[in-house]
Amino acid sequence: MSWSKLKKQLESFLCPALDGRVEYSATAYRYLPDKAGICYIAVDKKNILNMKDITSTIKWYQTEQEIKNDSEIQIPINDEEMEAVRKDTKGTVPEDRLKVIARNRKISEYAKELLSAQSSLSKSNFIVVANQFLSTSIEESIESNDILLNILALVDRRIGKKRILNMSEKMKLKHPIVQYFYELRLSTL
């Protein structure tokens, strides 16, 4: 599918409040087939997500330690995770320390997932992911670990107000760029 048709199709799925505000762009190099070009998503004419450039206004993490030390990241811990730590330590650790251990374990997993998603985004081809988005269900796109699929799903008109509001806990565990588009969508409700 040509880029102009794909772009038109993607923009037809934008929620009405974001129509005209969110813009997709992708360039390709005609004589360099191994080069993906520059792909970006702009909001209100401001380049928000440039897939090949980590100097955008959104925070990009370089190491797992940066994620662990980021005070803005809130990791919820549930009783099952606390119980797993309690089993591993055979009940010899005080309760307050159990929560710290459980949080550290969860944040390590989260950091690895986040860095993996970031690296796959910088290597991905926007057009391939956009075609994948158009051919899969909206639920699969939201649940995916792919940052771009999450973004395309969040600005989609098929996601209603109730579903957006129910996603708040899940969005805390997503990359900051996904959180940005979630907040953008919330502002339109």
Q: Is pLDDT above 90 for 184?
A: yes
* Separation CA 74–CA 188 (nearest Å): 24
According to the model, what pLDDT value does residue 156 have? 93
* Separation CA 112–CA 59 (nearest Å): 16
Q: Rounded to the nearest 5 degrees, what angle is found at the Cα of 43, between the Cα atoms of 42 and 49?
A: 45
Q: Is pLDDT above 70 for 48?
A: yes
Torsion of CA 111, 115, 116, 120, to 10 degrees: 160
* Separation CA 144–CA 149 (nearest Å): 7
Q: Are 49 and 22 in contact (CB under 8 A)?
A: no
**What percent of the chain lies above the pLDDT cut of 70?**
83
Which pair of structure tokens corresponds to residue 165? 């509001």
Residues 136-145 have pLDDT tens digits of: 999 999 988 8
According to the model, what pLDDT value does residue 140 have? 92
N-to-C CA span, the chain: 33
**Among all chains, which residue has been given the structure tokens 């996904």?**
178
Q: Are 41 and 22 in contact (CB under 8 A)?
A: yes
- Of residues 179 and 175, more confidence is placed in 179
Average pLDDT over residues 158-165: 90
According to the model, what pLDDT value does residue 58 have? 56
According to the model, what pLDDT value does residue 153 have? 93
**Among all chains, which residue has been given the structure tokens 């899940």?**
170
- The values of phi and psi at residue 93, to 5°, are -105, 140
Residues 77-92 have pLDDT tens digits of: 888 888 888 888 887 8
Which pair of structure tokens corresponds to residue 51? 């897939």
**Among all chains, which residue has been given the structure tokens 């992708």?**
26
* Separation CA 35–CA 16 (nearest Å): 34
Out of 25-29, 66-70, 139-143, least confident range: 25-29
Dmax (CA) for the chain in angstroms is: 65
Q: Is pLDDT above 80 for 113?
A: no
Closest by Cα among 188, 176, 154, 153 to 44: 188
According to the model, what pLDDT value does residue 37 have? 58
